[in-house]
Amino acid sequence: MVITADGPCRPLSSPAMPELPPRLPLAILPTPLEPAGRLSEAWGGPRIWVKRDDLTGFGLSGNKVRKLEFHFAAAHNAGADTVITCGAIQSNHARATALAAARVGLRSILLLRHKPGLTPRLEGNLLLDALAGARIRFITPEQWPHRDALMAEEAERRLASGHRSWVIPEGASDSIGMWGFVLAMRELADQMTRIEGRPAVLWHAASSGGTTAGIAWGADRLNLANPIVACSIGDPAHEIETKVQSIWREAASSLGAPVPTISVEYDDKHIGGGYGVVKNDDLAVQAEATALTGLVLDPTYTGKALTGLRREIAAGRFTRDDNIVFWHTGGGFAVFAHDFSRTVSVGDPVEPPA
């Protein structure tokens, strides 16, 4: 059943904000905001808080399910029996889409980027895609720029055989998926009342732009004073900003509402070799963070964003008087598709008691 997202959250203060679109509940919400005291102490910087979107569910772990709640409601209202989306071969979004589709009884088709000539390894998110019964089509890096057209072609083929499809863009990042994080900002705004001192910097991994667009739109409408940092995990800063601005314009046009005027910092200093390229130094920071917090980090997204935060702290950007809310966007299954062998080792065996 589709419901409207009007739960017991802080009401949006701007009269320009209408009711949220219909949503299909999929996530376990609200997710907690937790202090990471040992991490703060070890890194010698600000007080770090973690927004635990890795706890939105087990298979549906991560930020993507917040956006999918709105897309699946739209698919339901459109009478679709199939959802089509795209992503990298270890896409958290594709995995969440496949599992959500299986949960509500829809078919799923995934267009996954993969280099030709290489046999895909059935591990991490890709394994879960297959277990969820998704139909998987591999597309080449050269085809990737045409992914929207390729998904539209898939939808036309399905329609010719009597099936209606709902196409979800990369990362569910558009003026529909964005509302997942507008709603999330209502949730976080109430939780941040526990934080004393300076307004917390909202630090999060940025890629397809939907998470950033929703965070900033919600913060703007709630009149929050929190600085927002979109830490790119692959694309140049101006490309992330362009994606966000495009989503805002589309949403504003459909609503007859103003585009947000809030400032967002787009940080691309920590992208390294680009999307999905994670160096041993990055993995070492992520392993250290897991040892200090018990949190499992996706090396491509949360891990790289946390590595960026670690470097900014080391450079002296933040002091002990600052607060940071690090948005853990989940995706822990991808850790099983990376090689940590050069950064961690199995310790000596424990001696049995005498």
Average pLDDT value for the chain: 91
Statement to judge: residues 281 and 162 lie in one domain = no
Statement to judge: residues 143 and 221 lie in one domain = no
pLDDT above 90: residue 14: no
CATH number for position 160: 3.40.50.1100
Statement to judge: residues 197 and 295 lie in one domain = yes
Statement to judge: residues 47 and 77 lie in one domain = no
Statement to judge: residues 51 and 184 lie in one domain = yes
Alpha-carbon distance of 266 to 236, in angstroms, equals 9
Q: What is the pLDDT at residue 7? A: 37
3-state secondary structure at position 230: strand
pLDDT above 90: residue 332: no
349 within domain boundaries? no
Q: Single out the residue of 122, 71, 78 nearest to residue 93, CA to CA.
A: 71
Q: Single out the residue of 151, 149, 90 nearest to residue 122, CA to CA.
A: 90
Least confident of 132-136, 262-266, 291-295, 350-354: 350-354
Over residues 14-29, the mean pLDDT reads 78
204 within domain boundaries? yes
Q: Single out the residue of 304, 334, 294 nearest to residue 64, CA to CA.
A: 334
Statement to judge: residues 189 and 240 lie in one domain = yes
182 within domain boundaries? yes
- Domain boundary, last residue among 172, 194, 220: 172
* Residue labelled with tokens 């950064």: 343
Residue 94 structure tokens: 């594709």
Statement to judge: residues 152 and 104 lie in one domain = yes
CB atoms < 10 A from the CB of 337, how many?
18
Alpha-carbon distance of 31 to 187, in angstroms, equals 8
Statement to judge: residues 76 and 151 lie in one domain = yes
344 within domain boundaries? no
pLDDT above 70: residue 19: no
* Residue labelled with tokens 């917040």: 66
- Domain boundary, last residue among 172, 197, 220: 172
pLDDT above 50: residue 11: no
3-state secondary structure at position 42: helix
346 within domain boundaries? no
DSSP characters for 62-124? STHHHHHHHHHHHHHHTT-SEEEEEEETT-HHHHHHHHHHHHHT-EEEEEEE--TTSPPP--H
54 within domain boundaries? yes
Q: Single out the residue of 145, 155, 149, 182 nearest to residue 69, CA to CA.
A: 182
Q: What is the pLDDT at residue 349? A: 57
Statement to judge: residues 114 and 192 lie in one domain = no
Over residues 9-24, the mean pLDDT reads 59
* Confidence label for 269 from pLDDT (cuts 50, 70 and 90): very high
Q: How far is CA 346 from CA 12, 66, 278, in A?
A: 50, 36, 21
Over residues 236-262, the mean pLDDT reads 96
CB atoms < 10 A from the CB of 197, how many?
11
Q: What is the pLDDT at residue 15? A: 45
Statement to judge: residues 183 and 49 lie in one domain = yes
Given 91, 175, 207, 208, the catalytic residue? 91
pLDDT above 80: residue 92: yes
Per-residue pLDDT tens digits for 170-182: 999 999 999 999 9
167 within domain boundaries? yes
Domain that holds residue 161: 66-172
Q: How many domains does the chain have?
A: 2
Q: How far is CA 46 from CA 15, 35, 132, 185, 202, in A?
A: 35, 11, 41, 22, 13
3-state helix, strand, coil in the chain (%, to 5): 40, 15, 45
Catalytic (active site) residue 91: yes
* Confidence label for 280 from pLDDT (cuts 50, 70 and 90): confident
Contact 63, 327 (CB under 8 A): yes
Statement to judge: residues 19 and 163 lie in one domain = no
Alpha-carbon distance of 142 to 145, in angstroms, equals 7
Statement to judge: residues 328 and 206 lie in one domain = yes
- Domain boundary, last residue among 172, 198, 229: 172
347 within domain boundaries? no
